[in-house]
Structure 1
Amino acid sequence: MNRIHNAVRTLGAEGWHKPWSGSNGGSCVEVRRLADGRFAVRQSTDPEGPALIFTQIELDVFSRGWEAGQASLSLS
């Protein structure tokens, strides 16, 4: 079994981007592609906090749900 550690602490500050935007006062998610092809997703307001790790397919499904109002992200 592969153990996934908190991606934020191992990845550092570089390479994150905000793929979604909204009217929530700047509180949004940031995404970073990992070397193995997966994606780390974190809250921009908590860069030292935890990150979720998604495969490309999982991120696509999450994104569609997010856009349809069926998904939310709470890492705290």
Structure 2
Amino acid sequence: MVFDNGMPACDITGVEWVKSSGSVGQGNCVELAKLPGGQVAVRNSRHPGGAALVYTREEMIAFLAGAKGSEFDHLTI
């Protein structure tokens, strides 16, 4: 199966969607799933059938490194 950016998340089957244990529990979070081939899909937990963003492994590594390095902290203030 080919996974494209913006495809309906409900069309991505056979994967495990996970969210952070720090999620507020009100459905206001994102969920991620590892796809065959190493890509990662991201969806809005409030709209699990909505569009999924699909990232390469390298893109996710770069994003997580930035998040761990506090590069995006100013966006939450």
Does TM-score exceed 0.5, indicating one fold?
yes
- In the alignment, the residues of structure 2 paired with residue 55 and residue 8 of structure 1 have an alpha-carbon distance, to the nearest angstrom, of 16
Q: Name the structure 1 match of 2:55.
A: 54
Higher relative contact order (CA 8 A, sep 6+): 2
Q: Name the TM-score, length of structure 2 as normaliser.
A: 0.66
Give unpaired runs (5+ residues) of structure 1.
Answer: none
Give unpaired runs (5+ residues) of structure 2.
Answer: none
CA RMSD of aligned residues (A): 3.1
Instruction: Indicate the percent of aligned positions where both proteins have the same amino acid.
Output: 28
* Larger CA Rg, structure 1 vs 2: 2
- What is the count of residue pairs matched by the alignment? 71
TM-fit CA distance, 1:33: 0.7
Poorly superposed stretches of 4+, deviation over 6 Å: none
Q: Name the TM-score, length of structure 1 as normaliser.
A: 0.66
- In the alignment, the residues of structure 2 paired with residue 11 and residue 57 of structure 1 have an alpha-carbon distance, to the nearest angstrom, of 20
